[in-house]
Amino acid sequence: MSERKTIDLTGMRCPGPIVQLNAEIRQITQGAELEALSDDPAFELDAKAWCRRTGHELLALASADGIVRARIRRRA
């Protein structure tokens, strides 16, 4: 089973969530998953753009009750 880590980025505003996401993804192994929770209105678009730019795989992106949940797989 692959490693999965969840991080709570609620309360942070741009660029904080992406900066923290970038730091956290470096702490997990290649192929592991990181789930990030954020209430920043820009996070959904930022997470998509960040994954495209960095090459990490965006597995899921969902929003409910003001919280965006992004599930990302670390690539090399």
* CATH assignment at residue 8: 3.30.110.40
For residue 31, the model assigns a pLDDT of: 96
Q: Cα–Cα distance between 10 and 27 in angstroms, integer? A: 20
For residue 36, the model assigns a pLDDT of: 98
Q: Cα–Cα distance between 52 and 4 in angstroms, integer? A: 21
The catalytic residues are 14
For residue 60, the model assigns a pLDDT of: 98
Residue 61 domain boundaries: 4-73
The reported pTM is: 0.92
For residue 63, the model assigns a pLDDT of: 96
The number of domains in the chain is 1
Q: Cα–Cα distance between 14 and 57 in angstroms, integer? A: 21
Q: For the chain, which ranges sit under pLDDT 70?
A: 1-2
